[in-house]
Structure 1
Amino acid sequence: MDEETLTPKSQHPTSEKHHDDSNDDDDQPMPDLPHQNPSLPSSQSDTDSGSNGDDEAEDNLQLQNVEAELSTNPSNYDAHVQKIKLMRKMGEIEKLRQAREAMSELFPLTPTMWQEWASDESSINVGDEAFSSIEKLYERGVFDYLSASLWCDYLSFVKEHDPSVRECSPTGIAKARDLYERALTAAGLHIAEGNKIWEAYREFEQAILEAIHDTDIQAKEKQIQRIRSIFHRQLSVPLVNMRSTLLAYKGWEVEQGKALDTKSSDLDGVPSHVASAYHKALEMYNARIHLEEQISRQDISDSERLQQFMNYLKFEESSGDPARAQVLYERAITEFPISSDFWLGYTRYMDKTLKVGSVVSNVYSRAIKNCPWVGELWVRYLLSLERGHASEKEICSVFEKSLQCTFSTIDEYLDLFLTRIDGLRRRISFTSEKEDVLDYSLIRETFQHATDYLSPHLKNTDGLLRLHAYWARLELKLGKDLVAARGVWESLLKICGSMLEAWQGYIAMEIELGHINEARSIYRRCYSKRFPESGAEDICHSWLRFEREFGTLEDLDHSVQKVTPRLEELQLFRSRLKSKLIEERENSFKNAREKRKPVSDISDQQSPAKRQKDTSQNLKKVHEKDKGQVEDLIEQNKMDEITQVDKPDIKNDIQRKEAVPEKGKVFTDQCTAFISNLNLKVTSEDLLEFFSDVGGVVDIRILHDKFTGKSRVHIHCSKNKQTLRGKQLSIARSNPKHGKKEKSGQNVQKKQAGGSSSKESVEASKESRAPLSTARKSRVDNDQLKGKNTFAVPRNVRALGFMSNKPKTEEQDENPKSNDEFRKMFIKG
């Protein structure tokens, strides 16, 4: 695949540099490539010189831009690729080599890029020194990613340019066979491309067979058996074109003198163990062919192909063959080199199956080079090195590199430090005499490095507490230094003094060591401090328990004397805080309910009493409630009105409120009815007796005219048009939303027309009565009234018999009146 197929990120997540072991040897300098092809005719050269000059100028400009980008952002993957392409085009081989080396230090190169590099070097270099440098390039290339094509190029290069191999010397043959076996281990199980390695191996051995003299029968027979063994091994592996391989094997056996039907694909004449292995391999191939087709599709997106690889990997892991699963993982990371899921799964699988060895460490070294931003990979890499008994120098180098990376969370850095410290502790505690014993000062330095690095980001967190507790424990166990352990806790308290767990950890250490007085002194330092939630109470009670278990009676008395005022203070604070929270919750609930009430359409210039709103949500349900509940609500509102009447200078206060609109209060009149056309001698007792048969009247408020002081009355609308002392009453409910359309208005008209009140309901209002009505109640009841007289029930009790809010036509006397209309009635009177 090429660079574009690999789809690496243009901006690598970190500028961390990674070095392979093969990078240590410098390549030999190579001469520059010619800029022009000298074989071109002169006329053509003259013709192309102008265009080449323009192209060269454009390339130089692009190169300058790319180099400027890399100077500011060395981790720009695409810029590295572009620079290499430009250098290769311009023939600047020395600068090209430097560009490739610079990129390989930061990123793994794709197989195609390694093939181009090796091809460029081999085209201009000859001799043993050049061969050695190119061979190292191939080694670096096959280390980065799995590529059967790159392995084939590597094998061909060795066969052609290695003198010992080319001359078939024993040393050369042994070297080549070792290289072929490595290639088979790496790519021989690659279902799609593994047969390339097998065929190249057979061709090499066949060439050796042909080079053996016919007189050396023993050597010739041994070589024939070697080739036969390679055929048998290949036929036992599920690969593409297995039947073609079988036919090739049968043909080869015929050449060796065996009688086989080379045109038939059956297994007649094939050894039974080979036939059995072939059948098994063919079944394995058939079980995987559909998975191979899915990951090879070009008409699906990268995310879909990645998921297909995941499915394939689950299948291989369940099959129980680690070698096959490893090869498939290698194929997956070659296709998706920066997929952390693949690398995490690959390394986890290798840890589970192989656990130790250079193979696992090599996988980790490649994983952190492809995904250096994943902290878990670094942690597990350190553990892998420790399992493989790597040197302290190597482990320290990997740890230092990990701290230069950029991780997504601070906890990943903490995990790295703890992993490093764990490893040092184990090596100090369990190292045999034969091995180098590490000094404890190395652990102390690592702890100090960790706290300096993490404290600004982990203040008052469990992570920092865990780090310091671990440190203090190791100072006691390994360092044998109590003063240093106490110093660790004191340094933590300077950072996390408001963290209860830090004080408790310090106290626990002293108690565990039997230092009771020291633990008591810590309690005295922290019992009065402020801790989150119930921490202050907890530390007080903890001190009391401590003195009961370890102290004298005087110590207990002293602690009680100190703690009791503190607990009382905390209890008082908690109660006040609780009351405040309850009050805020009630206010919030009240405001929320008021916000749900309908918005008044009365202008801001009107008084609060004229901006009362209808908050009834379900009239039928309210009617079915106990009448006593409604009466309680009415009585409560009555008391509110009496309180308002007792206020001094209430008239001026009402007029001021009418002049200044009060936004935020909303009043309702669903339970208030106004009565007109009353006899002037009607009293409250007369009205109570008149409405006694319908019930529900708890209070009758006599309103007073603003100028004359004459009384008015309001009661139930269900008595509308009935006669009282020779006068027919006209009763209308209050409706401040006069003129608004409401869905239930038609039902109200029907019920009013029918005079029915059995199915209509009452709803209580939370708002106090209008100040205007309350003020007028303070006037004397025996003033002479002029004009239309009105009696009213308190507004928070809706008249029985009303069902809806929509008013009837204005021609009807029972039409609900708005606040403006009632006000005009009062003024007119």
Structure 2
Amino acid sequence: MATPMEEDLPESSAAAAGPTPAPPGGNGEKPAPADSDSDSSDSDDGGDGGDAADELRIQALESALQEQPLDYESHVQYIQCLRKSGKIEKLRAAREEMNKYFPLTPKMWQEWTKDEISLRPESFDDIEKLYERGVQEYLSVRLWRDYLDFVEEHDKSVSQCSPPGLTKMRNLFERAIIAGGLHVTDGSKLWEAYREYEMAILTIVDDDDEEKAKQVQRIRALFQRQLSVPLADMESVLVEYKSWEAEQGNANDPSSNFDGVPSTVLSAYKKATEMYNARKQYEDQLSNADASDGDKLQEFLKYIKFEESSGDPARVQVLYERAVSELPVSSDLWMGYTSYLDKILKVPAVIKSVYHRATRNCTWVSELWVRYLLSLERIHASEEELRPVFEQALQCSFPNIKEYLDIYLTRVDSLRRRMTDGLDFQLIRQTFMDATEFLSSQMGTEDLLLLNAYWAKLERTLGENLAAARGVWENTLKKSGSVLEVWQHYIAMEIETGNIHEARSLYKRCYSKRFAGSGSEDICHAWIRFEREHGTLDDYDLAVKKVNPRLKELMMFKSQQEVKVDNHAFSKETTANDSSQKRKPSKMPTKQQPPAKKRKDNPPKSAVQSDDQGSKEQSSTDHAKAGEFSGEKNMEMNLVEGSRTENTSSKESKSNFYSDKCTIYMSNIDLTANEEHIRRFFSDIGGVTAIRLLRDRFTKKSRGLAYVDFSDNEHLEAAIRKNKHKLLGKKVSVARSDPSKGKKSREAGSFSKDQDRLPASGDSGEKAVSASRSDKDIPKDEPKITGKNTFAAPRSVIKPLGWTKKDDKSDDGAEELKSNEEFRNLLLKKCVDLHAVFKPRDFLIVLS
């Protein structure tokens, strides 16, 4: 027999299988036994080195297949190596092993059957079974022709033309015609073989007129059947039919194209010709050898859509078989094929066969397995058929864990629907247990909830076992107790079954848990609603008593989180503004200017040092001037602050220190808002005692921040609840003030108190000041103690007023320090000169 032609192997399958090795016989036709001459000659040519390499290769492939039995490429290479080495028994076992996991291509079946025919020609039954298996996996006209030739040649009953043999052969031909007779390009080969067989029988029964007439009618019927099918080269078939009719004496005008052809046959022929012409464009596209698999797939899909519109299910089925034979791993084709069978053909045998082949070719497509299970149930398959399919599906490798869940749920659905057929509920329970064990470690909370909710429901309804249903939920809580939906489903089940006490117990167990998002608040409100609808007044009061503190706690926590977010955002904004300001020229002088340029009223010359004075004396003068300016500026700021804020003591104005024990912090305030707007904002709750709106120290414009003091915590809590309410069209953030954040400010505000504890001498005082307070600790809004403004500085910081260069030279003649009364008088006099609106009473308060 001839070697199988390369064209019989689908392009995609041939590519997957790799290059086909030459058979060990040396002639490219069939393998020879291990002790044959041809095998020996090959061995001599290859040498011992070649045999050793082949043996090592075989051993390596055997090891690989033991570890990965689903490696398609290793199976193909292993079979090729065994076929080349002539190890027949191993080769046969390797082919069986591969076919257990994968369908074989038509070329592989041709090689297998031809090898078996050459080695065991007497094993007709075994080889016939191989052909049966081969023609059921893919549509291959050439494989069918090989099968028909084999039976006709080797089956004694067929070769002897016995009645059983004739019946068997005709049945086999009819099967071949059904499988591939509608193949537009290759189907005519099967029709031709069928006619040739019947014509050979005609020559045998030529002596029996009755049998001859029957046989002539069989041949005529085959011609007419073929002429009604749209196939390639129909004109030659028509010519052959006319010639055959002429031999039977039925032709009157041989020159006429249709002479001797019955009108019914002629009408069918013309219709078939039109159908072929409509399909020729699709066939031409598919015959393009240079087209890729993707292009072929698109052409097949177009062709299939056209055939489906024609409404002939048999033609659609044959076209699908052609497509999956050429593109066996295209899941789109298998999905479309199985869907068409489920909706249109609905033939149980065909459906089972196609789904079996689909899942063997595309094992990774979970939807095919789901459809397979549903289709088997639809055709009323038994549990013995369904269970193996379900178990095979679980052994496949799916890309997503949800696909395994879908397989399990489909299985449970099927068992639930067939409970009326006498199935034991234990099957459902065991399936759920297996699913939980298999999936729980990888499954998300949502999917696990879906599975367990279904399980608990079936335990309660079909199993009629409420305790088992509760056990399902309790096990779920151990793994997902922080998921609100789990508690909600559990509680809903108890309410649905009328177990109000058990539902209340669940609320008591979960109302204090922390859930994601607003879940904690939701479960508290749900408990209150539950007691309104199902509980007594005592139950309702108890729920309120437990829930309200929890809600307040959650509200405070949420407010704190929002304040942290706002502060973080404000800090980022401030940092950005500071960094941008560093790149711009400042309006304020960056270097210390001479005192004469800062103030018009220069001090007396006696207070100004000459240029040739020593560095120590100059330093003392600078500190004295800085103290004077700082004292004057601080006093002015304190007085202004005291005039702006109501109910604020002069001590607080002087030190800018607040305890914030009952204070809220507001941010994101509209820049046009003032204290009165803020007071009106809280007018509905009352209790406001003081408002401190923070302003820029240079422009005096609002910074959008404020502190508001309240009389007690009750009003404070009510104020916090106004968080995110709108003030002048903007949502403001309201939260409890955190005193720890103002630590540096309080330390800065208490600087005036620390000054009284500094040493009295000039040099030691300067060192103490610099040691106790660095420039970093001084608030930005407090002027540094530099320059001439020393009138309000303590005696320990500056040198006495009236100190001159002459006095400095003589230690004995130094002026004595002024008394407190003298210092107060001098201070008041200077303040009156600076600002007419200031009253001596105010300064006395500051100096006290």
Instruction: Give the alignment's TM-score, normalised by structure 1.
Output: 0.68
Q: Is the 8 A contact 1:8 1:77 kept in 2?
A: no
Q: Is the 8 A contact 2:696 2:702 kept in 1?
A: no
In structure 2, how many angstroms separate the alpha carbons of the residues matched to 1:584 and 1:270?
96
Equivalent in 494, 508, 520 of residue 504 of structure 2: 520
Name the structure 2 match of 1:6.
Answer: 12
Q: Is the 8 A contact 1:63 1:86 kept in 2?
A: yes
The verdict on how the C-alpha distance between 1:146 and 1:277 changes in structure 2, with shifts beyond 3 A counting, is: same
2:238 counterpart letter in structure 1: L
Higher helix share: 2
SS of the residue corresponding to residue 547 of structure 1 reads helix
Name the structure 2 match of 1:460.
Answer: 445
SS of the residue corresponding to residue 331 of structure 1 reads helix
Name the structure 1 match of 2:486.
Answer: 502
The verdict on how the C-alpha distance between 1:591 and 1:183 changes in structure 2, with shifts beyond 3 A counting, is: farther
Q: Is the 8 A contact 1:6 1:334 kept in 2?
A: no
Name the structure 2 match of 1:444.
Answer: 429
Q: Is the 8 A contact 1:459 1:496 kept in 2?
A: no
2:315 counterpart of 1:321: no
Q: Is the 8 A contact 1:236 1:280 kept in 2?
A: yes
2:56 counterpart of 1:79: no
Name the structure 1 match of 2:92.
Answer: 97
Name the structure 2 match of 1:60.
Answer: 55
Name the structure 1 match of 2:249.
Answer: 257
In structure 2, how many angstroms separate the alpha carbons of the residues matched to 1:584 and 1:541?
32
Name the structure 2 match of 1:568.
Answer: 552
Name the structure 1 match of 2:760.
Answer: none
Equivalent in 409, 414, 418 of residue 418 of structure 1: 409
After TM superposition, the structure 1 = structure 2 runs for residues 478-557 of structure 1, keeping only pairs within 5 Å, are 478-557=462-541
The verdict on how the C-alpha distance between 1:146 and 1:513 changes in structure 2, with shifts beyond 3 A counting, is: same
In structure 2, how many angstroms separate the alpha carbons of the residues matched to 1:507 and 1:100?
58
SS of the residue corresponding to residue 699 of structure 2 reads helix
Name the structure 2 match of 1:476.
Answer: 460
Note the C-alpha offset of 1:61. 3.4
The verdict on how the C-alpha distance between 1:417 and 1:11 changes in structure 2, with shifts beyond 3 A counting, is: farther
Note the C-alpha offset of 1:79. 2.1
The verdict on how the C-alpha distance between 1:190 and 1:261 changes in structure 2, with shifts beyond 3 A counting, is: farther
Instruction: Give the alignment's TM-score, normalised by structure 2.
Output: 0.66
Q: CA RMSD in A?
A: 4.0
Note the C-alpha offset of 1:7. 4.0
In structure 2, how many angstroms separate the alpha carbons of the residues matched to 1:226 and 1:303?
44
SS of the residue corresponding to residue 411 of structure 2 reads helix
Equivalent in 218, 238, 253 of residue 230 of structure 2: 238
Name the structure 2 match of 1:158.
Answer: 151
In structure 2, how many angstroms separate the alpha carbons of the residues matched to 1:526 and 1:366?
52
1:34 counterpart letter in structure 2: P
Q: Is the 8 A contact 2:456 2:469 kept in 1?
A: yes
The verdict on how the C-alpha distance between 1:706 and 1:447 changes in structure 2, with shifts beyond 3 A counting, is: closer
Name the structure 2 match of 1:27.
Answer: none
The verdict on how the C-alpha distance between 1:3 and 1:177 changes in structure 2, with shifts beyond 3 A counting, is: closer
2:333 counterpart of 1:342: yes
Note the C-alpha offset of 1:78. 2.1
Identity %: 53
In structure 2, how many angstroms separate the alpha carbons of the residues matched to 1:594 and 1:316?
75
Question: Which runs of no fewer than 5 residues in structure 1 stay unpaired?
Answer: 13-30, 432-436, 611-627, 662-702, 710-779, 783-829
Note the C-alpha offset of 1:370. 0.8
In structure 2, how many angstroms separate the alpha carbons of the residues matched to 1:217 and 1:119?
40
Note the C-alpha offset of 1:71. 3.3
Q: Is the 8 A contact 1:8 1:337 kept in 2?
A: no
In structure 1, how many angstroms separate the alpha carbons of the residues matched to 2:76 and 2:784?
95
In structure 1, how many angstroms separate the alpha carbons of the residues matched to 2:443 and 2:42?
69
Note the C-alpha offset of 1:582. 3.1
Q: Deviations over 1:766-803 (max 9, x none)?
A: xxxxxxxxxxxxxx9x9xxxxxxxxxxxxxxxxxxxxx
Name the structure 1 match of 2:127.
Answer: 134
SS of the residue corresponding to residue 638 of structure 1 reads coil
Equivalent in 218, 227, 241 of residue 210 of structure 2: 218
After TM superposition, the structure 1 = structure 2 runs for residues 589-608 of structure 1, keeping only pairs within 5 Å, are none
In structure 2, how many angstroms separate the alpha carbons of the residues matched to 1:599 and 1:359?
82
In structure 1, how many angstroms separate the alpha carbons of the residues matched to 2:250 and 2:495?
88
2:263 counterpart of 1:272: yes
The verdict on how the C-alpha distance between 1:499 and 1:60 changes in structure 2, with shifts beyond 3 A counting, is: same
Q: Is the 8 A contact 1:379 1:419 kept in 2?
A: yes
The verdict on how the C-alpha distance between 1:348 and 1:600 changes in structure 2, with shifts beyond 3 A counting, is: same
After TM superposition, the structure 1 = structure 2 runs for residues 199-210 of structure 1, keeping only pairs within 5 Å, are 199-210=192-203
The verdict on how the C-alpha distance between 1:91 and 1:47 changes in structure 2, with shifts beyond 3 A counting, is: closer
Name the structure 1 match of 2:175.
Answer: 182
Q: Deviations over 1:472-492 (max 9, x none)?
A: 222222212121121122122
2:423 counterpart letter in structure 1: L
In structure 2, how many angstroms separate the alpha carbons of the residues matched to 1:640 and 1:648?
26
Q: Is the deviation greater in 203-212 or in 570-579?
A: 570-579
The verdict on how the C-alpha distance between 1:90 and 1:508 changes in structure 2, with shifts beyond 3 A counting, is: same
Q: Is the 8 A contact 1:507 1:522 kept in 2?
A: yes
After TM superposition, the structure 1 = structure 2 runs for residues 428-443 of structure 1, keeping only pairs within 5 Å, are 428-429=419-420, 431=421, 437-443=422-428
The verdict on how the C-alpha distance between 1:229 and 1:582 changes in structure 2, with shifts beyond 3 A counting, is: farther
Note the C-alpha offset of 1:277. 1.8
In structure 1, how many angstroms separate the alpha carbons of the residues matched to 2:425 and 2:702?
83
Q: Is the 8 A contact 2:531 2:540 kept in 1?
A: yes
Note the C-alpha offset of 1:419. 0.9
The verdict on how the C-alpha distance between 1:648 and 1:185 changes in structure 2, with shifts beyond 3 A counting, is: same
Name the structure 2 match of 1:638.
Answer: 699
Name the structure 2 match of 1:404.
Answer: 395
1:191 counterpart letter in structure 2: V
2:226 counterpart letter in structure 1: Q
SS of the residue corresponding to residue 418 of structure 2 reads helix
Note the C-alpha offset of 1:6. 2.8
Q: Is the 8 A contact 1:189 1:327 kept in 2?
A: yes
Note the C-alpha offset of 1:34. 3.1
Count of equivalent residues: 617
Q: Is the 8 A contact 1:528 1:566 kept in 2?
A: yes
In structure 1, how many angstroms separate the alpha carbons of the residues matched to 2:248 and 2:178?
28
SS of the residue corresponding to residue 34 of structure 1 reads coil
Note the C-alpha offset of 1:282. 1.5
Question: Which runs of no fewer than 5 residues in structure 2 stay unpaired?
Answer: 1-6, 19-29, 592-671, 674-693, 704-744, 756-765, 777-782, 790-830, 834-848
In structure 1, how many angstroms separate the alpha carbons of the residues matched to 2:314 and 2:289?
27
2:322 counterpart of 1:331: yes
In structure 2, how many angstroms separate the alpha carbons of the residues matched to 1:253 and 1:598?
107
Structure showing greater radius of gyration is 2
Q: Deviations over 1:94-150 (max 9, x none)?
A: 1111111111112111101100110111112133xx100001111111111111110
Q: Is the 8 A contact 1:195 1:239 kept in 2?
A: yes
The verdict on how the C-alpha distance between 1:237 and 1:561 changes in structure 2, with shifts beyond 3 A counting, is: same
In structure 2, how many angstroms separate the alpha carbons of the residues matched to 1:361 and 1:647?
91
In structure 1, how many angstroms separate the alpha carbons of the residues matched to 2:506 and 2:583?
64
Note the C-alpha offset of 1:160. 0.6
The verdict on how the C-alpha distance between 1:50 and 1:516 changes in structure 2, with shifts beyond 3 A counting, is: closer
Note the C-alpha offset of 1:707. 7.9
In structure 2, how many angstroms separate the alpha carbons of the residues matched to 1:406 and 1:415?
14
SS of the residue corresponding to residue 95 of structure 2 reads helix
Q: Is the deviation greater in 224-233 or in 359-368?
A: 224-233
In structure 2, how many angstroms separate the alpha carbons of the residues matched to 1:452 and 1:174?
56
Note the C-alpha offset of 1:35. 4.1
Q: Deviations over 1:333-374 (max 9, x none)?
A: 111111111111111111111235011011111111111111
Equivalent in 50, 56, 65 of residue 70 of structure 1: 65
SS of the residue corresponding to residue 445 of structure 2 reads coil
2:77 counterpart letter in structure 1: Q
Name the structure 2 match of 1:284.
Answer: 275
After TM superposition, the structure 1 = structure 2 runs for residues 732-751 of structure 1, keeping only pairs within 5 Å, are none
2:384 counterpart letter in structure 1: K
